[in-house]
Amino acid sequence: MKKNYFRMLAMMLLSMMGLNASAHDIEVANADGVTIYYIYSSDYRELVVTYRGDYSTAYNEYSGNVVIPDEVTYMNRTRKVTSIGEAAFLRCSGLTSVTIPNSVTSIGYYAFYDCSGLTSITIPNSVTSIGDGAFYGCSGLTSVVSLIKNPFEIAGKGSSYPTFSDNTFINATLYVPVGTIDKYKSTAGWKDFQFIEEGTGEGGTTPGAKKCATPTISFADGKLTFSCETEGVSYTYEITNDDVKRGNASEVQLAVVYKVSVYATKYGYEDSDVATAEFTFGGNVDTGVRGDMNGDNIVNALDIQTIIMIAAMF
């Protein structure tokens, strides 16, 4: 009974929004061949995901897995997709998953209203606003992954048009970025989730999380390079040296040993093991020619240039 009441309110709200009878401006197939409908933003520089036809009949326009691209090329013009419009996926009960790109900054009113086939939704960090009723009626949701690091208020339980259904607030798990759980627990709407955990449900702080591969360290042409088999990682490194010399010997070998340690990090993954390496500068060990950085047995401008590049880097 309550659901029918909200359905009626949704239709009334949408009708007051003054939506066009012919909603979309263009339609373009994504990389998977799924047609997605768009309207232009007010300045025609960006695109908003929408539905096809009149909102009163725009049910089940989308089904299965839908991947929204971050940009669309149409008639040789490329535009960013920055918003999911009002009622864009209204009552698409056949929609089983949707990928929202990090270019999207807003999710409109009733954008996924009554999408009962959705079991999980991931909201990217780029989103700065979510309209009332956006995920209301998504009765199948068991997990909501919010990558938003600074949560903003959403319509919670008891609101006229709550962003999520009471069933979602009570039974689904809200996964949030590591270190932000207290923010979510004190932010209107988000705090109504009974179960809030840090991580993504597929990694991070949860048991069995994937682990970043141990990075490798290399040095060539005056550049220190880190690489990792796990794509999209960030590197945390430390570089120290032992160039402090003390003593009373009559001869001192002027060589500097740089010690490098680095590990890889990625959201949703465990940090990698730490990789270490040592690099000695100031003399070529094989030839015994001090200052020979490239092994040609002489010290010239190329060697000096390499030393300067190294000094600048460290």
Query: For the chain, which residues make up each domain, given as ranges?
Result: 2-198, 210-313
Strand 210-211 and strand 234-241: pairing?
unpaired
pTM of the complete model beyond 0.85:
no
Name the CATH superfamily housing domain 2-198: Ribonuclease Inhibitor (3.80.10.10)
Q: What is the pLDDT of residue 284?
A: 43
Per-residue pLDDT of 160-210, as tens digits, reads: 999 999 999 999 999 999 899 999 999 999 999 999 999 877 644 443 356
Picking from 15, 147, 151, the residue whose alpha carbon sits closest to that of residue 90 is: 15
Question: Any residues with CB less than 8 A from the CB of 26 and at least 6 apart, and which?
Answer: 37, 38, 40, 47, 72, 74
Band (pLDDT 50/70/90 cuts) for residue 271 is: confident
Choose between 155 and 308: higher pLDDT.
155
Q: Are 229 and 302 in contact (CB under 8 A)?
A: no
Q: Tell me, what's the pLDDT at 253?
A: 63
pLDDT tens profile 18-63: 444 457 899 999 999 999 999 999 999 999 999 987 655 556 689 9
Token output for 199? 């991580």
The CA-CA-CA angle for residues 60, 202, 125, to 5°, reads: 65
Between CA 107 and CA 48 the distance in angstroms is 10
Q: Output the CATH code of domain 210-313.
A: 2.60.40
